[in-house]
Chains A and B, each alone.
Chain A
Amino acid sequence: LAKTTQPISMDSYEGQEVNITCSHNNIATNDYITWYQQFPSQGPRFIIQGYKTKVTNEVASLFIPADRKSSTLSLPRVSLSDTAVYYCLVGDLNGGTYKYIFGTGTRLKVLA
């Protein structure tokens, strides 16, 4: 399973766009990139998933360059409630494994 590297922490202000970049140099051909969000005292929650290029949903966008060795989670106009830990995960979901090895995650703090 590919190892991921992310910044340990980030601070932002309400209303700003936040970009969290994740490095996964050893990503395999069949691996997908998935981002999870975790609030205190809760289990991680799915945010977005992609394989290449750009994916957008109602809460975030995911940018993946052609070499797929990194990815960037973009959160538009963050609010205080977006304060959480964000995990970048890589895994061969097509194979039905669903097995994730978590990295350190990025602790995002949104300030008023």
Chain B
Amino acid sequence: SAVISQKPSRDICQRGTSLTIQCQVDSQVTMMFWYRQQPGQSLTLIATANQGSEATYESGFVIDKFPISRPNLTFSTLTVSNMSPEDSSIYLCSVGDRGRNFAEAFFGQGTRLTVV
């Protein structure tokens, strides 16, 4: 199974600034994803982080706002750009791997972002 480390675990940022969130996996994985979870809500998929190419964004999310890097099979970053209070959420990294079950998606603990 994959172990995911996210940094930072939480941050308070000023509006108009940017924050880069790091996701480190302890093994090489094919698929990496970024989700957002607003307070009291379900998870919303932002994008698929593709190794060596541009990320694939879901409807409602754009590269200028959420640039993503995936330089190798164990690491990815998500940047939340030009932040506003509406960006206050938990951001989670997820990876796909074959666990002890047929297939699993593993999630990091998340980054709790507060924009003031």
Interface residues of A (CB under 8 A from B): 32, 34, 41-46, 49, 87, 93-94, 96-105
Contacts and interface: CB of A to CB of B under 8 A. Distances in A.
Contacts of A44: 43, 107
A34 B105 CA distance: 10
Nearest to B33: A99
Contact of B43 (A34, A97, A98, A102): A102
Interface stretch (B14-22, B67-75, B76-84, B108-116): B108-116
B102 A32 contact: yes
Interface of B: 4, 30-31, 33, 35, 42-45, 48, 92, 94-97, 99, 101-110, 112
A43 B109 CA distance: 5
A97 B105 CA distance: 10
Given A44-B107, A102-B43, A105-B42, 12 more contacts: A32-B102, A32-B103, A41-B110, A42-B109, A43-B94, A49-B102, A93-B103, A96-B31, A98-B105, A100-B45, A102-B42, A102-B45
Contact of A43 (B102, B103, B110): B110
Contacts of B103: 32, 49, 93-94, 96, 98
Nearest 10 CB-CB pairings of A with B: A98-B96, A43-B107, A93-B103, A102-B43, A102-B42, A98-B31, A98-B105, A44-B107, A46-B104, A49-B101
Nearest to B44: A102
A85 B110 CA distance: 16
B48 A99 contact: yes
Given A46-B104, A98-B103, A87 B96 contact: no
B70 to A, nearest CB: 15
Nearest to B95: A98
A34 B107 CA distance: 14
A103 B42 contact: yes
A31 B109 CA distance: 26
Contacts of B106: 46
A99 B113 CA distance: 23
B94 to A, nearest CB: 8
28 contacts: A32-B102, A34-B104, A42-B109, A43-B94, A43-B108, A44-B43, A44-B107, A46-B105, A46-B106, A49-B101, A49-B102, A49-B103, A49-B104, A93-B96, A94-B102, A94-B103, A96-B30, A96-B31, A96-B96, A98-B30, A98-B31, A98-B33, A98-B94, A99-B33, A99-B48, A100-B94, A102-B42, A102-B43
